[in-house]
Amino acid sequence: MRRFPSFPATRRPWLKAAGLAALFAAGALHAETWVITDQAHPVAGRADRLILLDAPARIEAELASGLPADPARAENLARDRLSKGGADLQRRIAIAYQGVTDAWSLGITSVPAVVVDQRYVVYGEPDVARAVARIEQHRGAQP
């Protein structure tokens, strides 16, 4: 094994331990933040994920806009819109419904909701930074 004079063998275990501790601490400091809301309840601030609960309805309204009264023609036009939307439309639909599913699985009961680490929730606070600060204050008070 080649030895480096600036890192004597006796310091290497300490250096490895310090590196691992820094790695784990950095992971613990970054909390994943989700904002769950709808267009009627805008929020200020950034989150790792924004879930708009009304996104599926808005996409459906886009697809249904201007459809004729005749069911057969409406069906054909809707199919045409879905196929022309391609992968991008399919991705938008999947993301929209996955967001609704995730919010439901967390038990979100009202909007806006700021969720940290899929565990802590603040309801009714439209400022993401303030909601996260309230969560951090609560977490700091816990033993």
DSSP 39: T
**What is the third-level CATH fold of 31-141?**
Glutaredoxin (3.40.30)
Alpha-carbon gap, residue 118 to 115, rounded angstroms: 6
Domain boundaries, the chain: 31-141
Alpha-carbon gap, residue 21 to 24, rounded angstroms: 5
Alpha-carbon gap, residue 29 to 48, rounded angstroms: 14
> Residue 71: its pLDDT value, please?
94
> Residue 142: its pLDDT value, please?
78
> Residue 75: its pLDDT value, please?
94
The stretches in the chain having pLDDT less than 50 are: 1-2, 25-28
Residue pair 112/122 in contact (Cβ under 8 Å)? The answer is no
CA distances from 110 to 38, 63, 71, 120 (A): 10, 27, 36, 14
